[in-house]
A and B are shown apart, each in its own frame.
Chain A
Amino acid sequence: DSGVTQTPKHLITATGQRVTLRCSPRSGDLSVYWYQQSLDQGLQFLIQYYNGEERAKGNILERFSAQQFPDLHSELNLSSLELGDSALYFCASSVGERSDQPQHFGDGTRLSIL
């Protein structure tokens, strides 16, 4: 058990809809990372937050947004969903801000767009 909790585990919705994925980091971790994993693209970094502030951005679409709250949990919002957004979405957390520190992954949210 990594200590990172993601909810929900599965989400099925339709094109054009909006969903929110939630992540609770390990106790004591201040950084949260979001990743998207698909069969053809592998694990792609989306965005990092550290102690409530955005720290790094990867291949995140404008339709996607994230935030980290004062209690350090984070939410990833996906809007105007398209079929291609179907994927596994992982959250990871680490103690500090720098990417050289080990990241601990949750078990992901499987998003299916019908």
Chain B
Amino acid sequence: QKEVEQDPGPLSVPEGAIVSLNCTYSNSAFQYFMWYRQYSRKGPELLMYTYSSGNKEDGRFTAQVDKSSKYISLFIRDSQPSDSATYLCAMRMGYQKVTFGIGTKLQVIP
């Protein structure tokens, strides 16, 4: 079993929809949670970074962490074609290496 599970998709949604991206993890020692966005032929870029359980909002993006269920989510409101990319969840414990999910490919259709 992988430490971090993420559905690779692809996920296709119409423009303007609310997108929900999710990851589950097995290691309860993970403390820090991140979401990266990766456009085709580009490197990942950090979107959101959270530490505690609960929600963190940044513009159209909301990151949610539920440590009791070992479940994290990224919500994208009013999705745009420019949001089409692969979204990778990532997490780490303390100052250890970052462990990434496999990524979910999202396509927002105009």
Contact = CB atoms under 8 A, between A and B. Distances in A.
A106 B38 CA distance: 11
Interface stretch (B14-22, B41-49, B75-83): B41-49
Contacts of A83: none
Interface in B56-110: 88, 92, 95-103
Contact of A107 (B43, B46, B100): B43
Interface of A: 2, 4, 40-45, 48, 56, 58, 90, 92, 98-100, 102-108
Contact of A103 (B46, B95, B96, B103): B46
Nearest to A106: B43
A6 to B, nearest CB: 8
B98 A45 contact: yes
B101 A92 contact: no
A102 B32 CA distance: 12
Interface of B: 6, 32, 41-46, 49, 88, 92, 95-103
Contacts, number: 49
Given A42-B88, A42-B102, A92 B43 contact: yes
Contacts of B101: 42
A58 B97 contact: yes
Nearest to B101: A42
A90 B43 contact: yes
A105 B88 CA distance: 13
Given A42-B88, A43-B88, A100-B32, A108 B43 contact: yes
Contacts of A40: 102
Contacts of B32: 100
20 contacts: A2-B43, A2-B45, A40-B102, A41-B102, A42-B101, A43-B44, A43-B88, A43-B103, A45-B98, A90-B43, A98-B95, A99-B98, A100-B32, A100-B92, A100-B95, A102-B49, A105-B43, A107-B41, A107-B42, A107-B43
Contacts of B98: 45, 99, 103
A107 B2 CA distance: 26
